[in-house]
Amino acid sequence: MFTRELTKSPPKLDIGQMSRILVVEDEDLIREMLVLALEAEGYAIATAADGRAALGLLQSGESTLSLRELASGANSGTLNEFPFELVILDLMLPQINGLDICRLLRHQGNPVPILILSAKGSETDRVLGLEVGADDYLTKPFSMRELVARCRALLRRQRFGGLPQLPVLRFKDVTLYPQECRVLVRDQEVNLSPKEFRLLELFMSYTRRVWSREQLLDQVWGADFVGDSKTVDVHIRWLREKLEKDPSHPEYIVTVRGFGYRFG
Amino acid sequence: MFTRELTKSPPKLDIGQMSRILVVEDEDLIREMLVLALEAEGYAIATAADGRAALGLLQSGESTLSLRELASGANSGTLNEFPFELVILDLMLPQINGLDICRLLRHQGNPVPILILSAKGSETDRVLGLEVGADDYLTKPFSMRELVARCRALLRRQRFGGLPQLPVLRFKDVTLYPQECRVLVRDQEVNLSPKEFRLLELFMSYTRRVWSREQLLDQVWGADFVGDSKTVDVHIRWLREKLEKDPSHPEYIVTVRGFGYRFG
DNA sequence: TAACAGAGTTAATACAGGGTTAAAAAAGAA
DNA sequence: TTCTTTTTTAACCCTGTATTAACTCTGTTA
């Protein structure tokens, strides 16, 4: 299974770590919808409502627009200290049209990925858009989910060379990095055995859900496991020893008597 | 499975310089149309008519050679001595369906760009396709011109875009020059065998990511490797001897018991 | 209150996974 | 070819991990 529930809004936003997207769109309504959807994905968004503003942001970082401040604040820099990793570009813009922006950027050797968003859906328009250096082309009206998925795909290739990456799982003082098989507890790295790691990964993917011992055996050990369900208890014990301040009065992995265990 | 030999029309085609595309499509007519259109663009095309054949072509060790190796020239032969730079993938395939192929490739750590071609045009299908690691999604019926334009966009980014072509890889005291097949460790040049080099190249392309022995065999040896996964251990040992100050207490190539190895 | 079931805890043991080295086999180079 | 380098296999050891089992603790119910 590849899809995974996203834990929403990690508490600490570090703009240097977030993907930075520039949304260039003159229709206020659409622009705001885009911003909302993309911010919900955890991206840092700047916007421009016309071509000149967009070029300003892209070329120098100096802009005539006030930059969107991040919701929860408390981050070190403004958005335009960092280069954009993706541009979502409407074609029909005041001042300078989108195609020209795209052409200009490529002419200047700027490799930032560009996703064109346009009401012009004809084949010729689409081909032309890709021709002048865009990376993707979506026609209005578009599905917000698809747009987000396409952004993810572009950013994935940009940042991680094309391999999909699993989101980091956080809960209170525990952070789990699925790709790295690494777990931090109170900023200390702890060394988990494979079974412990899989257990924790499962727990953290579905916090607050109660798992029976049988379900845990199915998910972590595999459906072909034969043996005592007491095995789970022992592994839970090991895990508690590595996670909990006081393993005998657990705060993370809670026993639900008669049912099983729950994380969180 | 059938592989297509090079078109001979222009006499001096250097396959090492051409973009290599794999077309996976079971309908003969569409497949032939794709081949014609893409060959007209100057790409080198291989085809597969079912999922198993596609996987065979994609996973054979030869097709995972890195660009560097073929840039060094002197190529005599067939298309599949070279890695594919793009896969055009139909979803509805005999034997193994396209989504599974996509998922499997990504699961093995193969980052080749994938353009999905499908009759299923629903938003959910498109999102799902991108979700499992595809880079673009086009629904049938499609315009051949648009398809070609999208291929160009993907290849442009692959070859010249986003990241520079073959960036120098650095981590702490290790520097790897992909083009030159050279590695510096603490400013000392070390001599790596081919396998060692490609292992290190892979590791350094995705630092901190844990690779299982199977993934390493897939990516470095090729999916058709038959033999003991213990082989990896031995090569890791050699590599450690050349990288680490103290090979028995490695700082770069770390063992993650039960999972595999991680660089950094 | 006793009796019981569910859960906690710990220790003992078996075993799988990984490290290491040597030597055979294969691949390249001269 | 012959020599050299590289790759793979095999054997051995060592250690961390999984599992079982025995015993304890705790909450529930009669």
Out of B106, B149, B257, name the one closest to residue A163 (CB). Answer: B106
pLDDT at res. B2: 39
Query: What is the pairing mode between strands A86-90 and A20-24?
Result: parallel
**Average pLDDT of the residues in A17-21:** 88
pLDDT tens by residue, A219-251: 999 999 999 999 999 999 999 999 999 999 999
A258 vs chain B: nearest CA distance in angstroms?
32
Out of B123, B149, B262, name the one closest to residue A143 (CB). Answer: B123
Closest residue (CA to C1') to nucleotide D5 in the complex = B193
Find out whether B34 and B88 touch, Cβ atoms under 8 Å. Answer: yes
Does A194 contact strand D, using a CB cutoff of 7 Å? yes
Nearest nucleotide to B61, CA against C1' atoms:
D7
Does B237 contact strand D, using a CB cutoff of 7 Å? no
Domain ranges, ordered by start, for chain A: 2-159, 169-263
Asked if A111 reaches chain B (Cβ–Cβ under 8 Å), the answer is yes
CA distance B132 to B126: 10
Name B1's Cβ contacts closer than 8 Å, sequence gap at least 6.
Answer: B48, B49, B50, B52, B53, B56, B57
B130 and A150 within 8 Å at the Cβ level: the answer is yes
Residues of chain B with C-beta less than 8 angstroms from the C-beta of A149: 126-127, 130-131
Distance in angstroms, CA of B55 to C1' of D12? 38
Across chain A, mean pLDDT equals 87
Residues of chain B with C-beta less than 8 angstroms from the C-beta of A113: 157, 161-162
Assigned token pair, B88 = 């055009």
Asked if A160 reaches chain B (Cβ–Cβ under 8 Å), the answer is yes
C-alpha distances out from residue B77 to A186, A219, A221, B23, B58, Å:
57, 47, 47, 19, 17
Asked if B186 reaches chain A (Cβ–Cβ under 8 Å), the answer is no
Name A262's Cβ contacts closer than 8 Å, sequence gap at least 6.
Answer: A208, A209, A210, A211, A253, A254, A256
Domain A2-159 has CATH 3.40.50.300: no
In 10 A of CB B83, how many CB atoms? 18
Residues of chain A with C-beta less than 8 angstroms from the C-beta of B106: 163-164
pLDDT at res. A16: 62
Does A44 contact strand C, using a CB cutoff of 7 Å? no
Distance in angstroms, CA of A195 to C1' of D26? 28
Tell whether the model's pLDDT for residue A210 goes beyond 90.
Answer: yes
Domain A169-263 adopts which CATH fold?
A: Arc Repressor Mutant, subunit A (1.10.10)
In 10 A of CB A224, how many CB atoms? 6
User: Mean pLDDT for each 10-residue chunk of chain B (264 residues)?
Assistant: 39 61 96 96 94 88 38 35 86 94 94 95 94 95 95 85 67 93 95 96 96 96 91 97 96 97 96
